[in-house]
Amino acid sequence: MSDVAREADVSRATASYALRGDSRITKKTRSKVIAAAKKLNYSANLSARSLRSGRNGVVGVAIFELDKSYPSQMSAAISKEINAHGMQAIIQQTTNSREDEVSILQRVTSQLCDGTIFSPGNVSNEEMKALIHGKPIVLLDDHSAHPIFDSVETAGREGARTAITHLLAQGCRHIGVVGADISVLEKPSMKNSVAARRLIGCQEAFEASGRMLSPDAFIGLSPWDENASRSLAHNLADQGDFPFDGVFCLTDSIALGMIRGLYDCGISVPRDVAVIGFDGINEGASYIPSLTTISTDREDLARKAVSILLHDLNHPDRQSKPRRETAKFNLEVRESTMLGR
């Protein structure tokens, strides 16, 4: 700041006010100070500014598997919403490694950011609380049994109910669910997971229709991607007649792999098997056949997550029960379930 002030021939205080856009500094003086800073290749130090104001206008966003469509498109929606509030986002990818999640929270978000939007995986609530140093954090699809942080989740149960109800309305009578087997619901650690919520929604839809879904109809899959799902379709087809006339896949990536695998085996979608996914990734509308899906409203999810975070930033002393909000969703009916029955 002293170098800039000397170059612009103004006081250090005037240089500081000018660079912060203080209205008391004339346009002519401000232009002179900015020109001096540019000449010296100086820029504002966000860390120093944060020490003075307590804010630097940056939000950390840590999301799993950014190389996959849904997390990437969700991150883009969150970043856009953060920008709409005059702030910037630092997007980080988390993995299945606890050490990686700890490193992101410890070295990036808690050090550089005003707050964090975080997709938890392997870090406990107690660890997160210690790592964020009192800064606000909003979790996405929080799976903890006893939440202590605000969170926004996808409409797992409601969306899955809608998916199964749609397949039944299309005339499907032998429905399979691909992504997780029924034993997930028996594991305490998985009780509030994304998979568990979607499986519960499936069960509720069948109970509402007066029917039961056999445990064999729930098929586990790891990882949740197109290659694993394509291989699963081959294995099911190789056993003889394909066991299902309708398949609900817990993600769109699984659904697209299932469709491709069925095609490899000469099984037509939707003529022989109707397929529906969950997420609403952009690519689903362009595939042949186009994918019917439970589409999460990513803009609504982003608005809710950022709104909660900003509220917590502006009310640091708030003490209340953790908030849980659910993003809206839509059933997007496309070619993959149009049976014509």
pLDDT of residue 88: 93
State how far the Cα of 164 lies from the Cα of 149, in Å rounded to an integer.
32
Give the CA distances from residue 159 to residues 176, 293, 295, 300, in Å, rounded to whole numbers and listed in that order. Answer: 16, 9, 8, 15
pTM (2 decimals)? 0.83
8 A C-beta contact, residue 143 and residue 308: no
The helix/strand/coil state of 276 is strand
Tell me the pLDDT tens digit for each residue of 80-122.
999 999 999 999 888 777 888 888 887 777 678 899 999 987 8
pLDDT of residue 131: 86
Tell me the pLDDT tens digit for each residue of 10-63.
999 999 888 877 788 999 999 999 999 888 888 766 555 554 556 778 999 999
* Dihedral-angle region of residue 317 (phi above 0 means left; psi in -120 to 50 means alpha; beta otherwise): alpha
In degrees rounded to 5, what are phi and psi of residue 96? Answer: -85, 10
State how far the Cα of 139 lies from the Cα of 200, in Å rounded to an integer.
21
State how far the Cα of 325 lies from the Cα of 341, in Å rounded to an integer.
37
8 A C-beta contact, residue 301 and residue 331: no
Give the CA distances from residue 300 to residues 107, 163, 227, 339, in Å, rounded to whole numbers and listed in that order. Answer: 29, 20, 30, 31
pLDDT of residue 48: 57
Helices (H), the chain: 2-8, 12-19, 27-39, 46-53, 69-84, 98-103, 110-112, 125-131, 156-169, 194-208, 226-238, 252-264, 298-314
State how far the Cα of 321 lies from the Cα of 157, in Å rounded to an integer.
23
Domains in the chain, start-ordered, CATH in brackets? 2-44 (1.10.260.40), 58-154+298-327 (3.40.50.2300), 156-296+330-337 (3.40.50.2300)
pLDDT of residue 215: 87
CB-based contacts of 243, cutoff 8 Å, min separation 6:
174, 176, 236
8 A C-beta contact, residue 267 and residue 273: yes
Per-residue pLDDT of the chain (341 residues; tens, 9 = 90+): 899 999 999 999 999 888 877 788 999 999 999 999 888 888 766 555 554 556 778 999 999 888 899 999 999 999 999 999 999 999 988 877 788 888 888 777 767 889 999 998 788 888 888 888 888 999 999 988 888 999 999 999 999 999 999 999 999 999 999 999 999 998 887 888 999 999 999 999 999 998 888 889 999 999 999 999 999 999 999 988 899 999 999 999 999 999 999 999 999 999 999 999 999 999 999 999 999 999 999 999 999 999 999 999 888 776 678 999 999 999 999 999 997 64
* AA identity, residue 81: E
pLDDT of residue 18: 87
